[in-house]
Amino acid sequence: MEVTAANLAQWNASQLRLDLPDGDDRTRLTAVAKEFESLFAKQMLDSMRDTLNPEADMLNGGMAQDIFDDMLYDEYARMIAESGTLGIADMIVQQYEGQVTVQGASPSRVAALYDSVQARPI
């Protein structure tokens, strides 16, 4: 199987379903919303990185640097989501909080909400 960005995003979404935290409905919804914000920030950072000219990088380390940069940008995205600077997670929680408390937040329900958020156009 060829590894593509779409496959990796699908794998990340399936891992999220397995890694939902224990706790009440709001805790689970917040975790899913922060993960979504992290994925969004990663896509934004990757787009920004694609605009850089690799020939202008004096320390171009080839594939090793590409792998390091990708992991570094993953961490940047996680930190952005944890800090709440973009506010996307907060908006998602506000949008779906009523649905979760009314319908119950089983892990499969929270994962379904996550999938519905991913399917919406930005």
What are the residue ranges spanned by the domains of the chain?
22-119
* Residues in contact with 49: Cβ distance below 8 Å, sequence separation at least 6, in sequence order: 69, 73
Tokens representing 58? 């004096």
Asked if 30 and 81 touch (Cβ cutoff 8 Å), the reply is no
3-state helix, strand, coil in the chain (%, to 5): 75, 0, 25
pLDDT of residue 105: 54
The one-digit pLDDT tens for each residue of the chain (122 residues) are 566 665 666 656 555 555 667 777 788 888 889 999 999 999 999 999 888 877 777 677 778 888 888 999 999 999 999 998 889 999 988 888 777 554 555 666 666 766 776 666 65
pTM across the whole model = 0.61
Q: Is 20 exposed, middle or buried (0-12, 13-18, 19+ CB in 10 A)?
A: buried
Q: Where are the alpha helices (DSSP H) in 51-106?
A: 63-83, 88-103
DSSP state for residue 20 in the 8-state scheme: P
pLDDT of residue 64: 84
Task: Give residue for tokens 């993960």.
Answer: 35
